[in-house]
Homo-oligomer: A and B are copies of this chain.
Amino acid sequence: MSLDQIELPASEDVFNAAQNIAGMVHQTPLLSSRQLNELTGANLWFKCEHLQKVGAFKARGAANALSLLPEGVDEVATHSSGNHGAALAWAAAERGIPCTVVIPENAPKAKRIAVKGYGAKIVTSGPSLGDRESTLAKVLEETGAHEVPSYDDKRIIAGQGTVALEVLQQSREQGIAPDVIVAPVGGGGLLAGVGLTISALAPDILVIGAEPAAADDAHRSLRGGVHITTQQPNTIADGLRTTLGGRNYAVIERTVRDIVTVSEAGIVNAMRLLWTRTKQLVEPSAAVGFAAVIEHNARFRNKNVVVVLTGGNMDLDKVGPMLSSEEN
């Protein structure tokens, strides 16, 4: 599909999204830590989207999409191995309409439990993107449900962009002047939304994406100038295994300065530091932005840096044992 065939979101869509979802989602706090500032030599503010409804920023996009459903739609569906599934299930329940989520068999158990908890119907598929899409196609055909994709969607990108709107508002209120905003990138819903918003309202702030080196399609796409749509991801950051969407790439190419990559050990280390120093339970994907501040420290040192913590949902029995106490 070429760019002129797909509809890209504009900054107005983000402003509208903020109104559409007001009252449904939380304004999440900005958190700082003297210890982590000392460790990184930067002034860090963490935007706490793990404290968002459903424990992830995905509630924003889903709530916005549900507020913008086409006339006559009374049922929704998606495929998701992660937080988007729970977010759509939650948003549909809030509006009282049925929801089906196709979940691959290898998804984290905690994320499946969340979808079930919000009352959505679960259909299990094979692990590949092809498996997920063909299973969803069948669901759409059988139910007549409307698909709400997890990232390559104008409504979703606009909804996730409200994170950046809030950061700008809170920065003003708290007298913070951010130099940089760092957000993880998987499918690119959040990063595109942040880029779109910041480039429109505060173009002097750099927007930097952070991606696991073991799932670096967005990094290679942006650096090479060609949208890469295949990869074999092998990262603990389960929320970032997807490839960058078409709309997402188009927006990111225009609004995001760079995408840097981080190692798997760097992600675990960043997560351990966030857990032990801030006592915030963030999932592996959510630690990727902070990992970038550590592993690419020269780019962030002596700067005011907002790092988006994206979510806090995981299988604790899998993640906990990785975080053995460090010895000084």
- The SS class assigned to the A binding surface is helix
Contact residues of A between 303 and 328, Cβ < 8 Å to B: 312-313, 315-317, 319-321, 323-328
* Residues of B contacting A312 in the complex (Cβ-Cβ under 8 angstroms): 279
* Residues of B contacting A272 in the complex (Cβ-Cβ under 8 angstroms): 316
For residue A115, give the distance in angstroms from its CB to the closest CB of chain B: 11
Whether A301 is near chain B, meaning CB under 8 Å from some CB there, is no
Residue among A276, A279, A282, A328 with most chain B CB within 10 A: A279
Whether A275 is near chain B, meaning CB under 8 Å from some CB there, is yes
* Residues of B contacting A313 in the complex (Cβ-Cβ under 8 angstroms): 276
Q: What 0/1 pattern do residues 162 to 190 of A give for CB contact below 8 A with B?
A: 00000000000000000000000000000
Whether A116 is near chain B, meaning CB under 8 Å from some CB there, is yes
Identify which of B279, B320, B324 contacts A280 (C-beta below 8 A): B279
Nearest B residue to A286, CB-CB: B279
* Residues of B contacting A17 in the complex (Cβ-Cβ under 8 angstroms): none
Query: In the bound complex, do residue A116 and residue B325 qualify as a contact, i.e. CB atoms below 8 Å apart?
Result: no
Query: In the bound complex, do residue B324 and residue A317 qualify as a contact, i.e. CB atoms below 8 Å apart?
Result: yes
- A328–B115 alpha-carbon span in the complex (Å): 11
* Residues of B contacting A117 in the complex (Cβ-Cβ under 8 angstroms): 328
* Residues of B contacting A325 in the complex (Cβ-Cβ under 8 angstroms): 109-110, 113, 315-317
Nearest B residue to A277, CB-CB: B55
Query: In the bound complex, do residue A317 and residue B320 qualify as a contact, i.e. CB atoms below 8 Å apart?
Result: yes
How many copies of this protein are present in the complex? 2
Query: In the bound complex, do residue B328 and residue A323 qualify as a contact, i.e. CB atoms below 8 Å apart?
Result: no
Whether A76 is near chain B, meaning CB under 8 Å from some CB there, is no
Q: What 0/1 pattern do residues 105 to 129 of A give for CB contact below 8 A with B?
A: 0000110010011000000000000
Known: A316-B272, A316-B323, A321-B321. A328 touches B280 (CB 8 A): no
Whether A247 is near chain B, meaning CB under 8 Å from some CB there, is no
- A48–B281 alpha-carbon span in the complex (Å): 14
Q: What 0/1 pattern do residues 214 to 245 of A give for CB contact below 8 A with B?
A: 00000000000000000000000000000000
- A313–B323 alpha-carbon span in the complex (Å): 13
Query: In the bound complex, do residue B327 and residue A113 qualify as a contact, i.e. CB atoms below 8 Å apart?
Result: yes
Known: A281-B280, A282-B279. A316 touches B327 (CB 8 A): no
Known contacts A109-B325, A116-B328, A320-B320; can you find 10 more A-B pairs with CB under 8 A? A51-B279, A113-B327, A117-B328, A279-B281, A316-B323, A316-B325, A317-B320, A317-B323, A317-B324, A321-B321
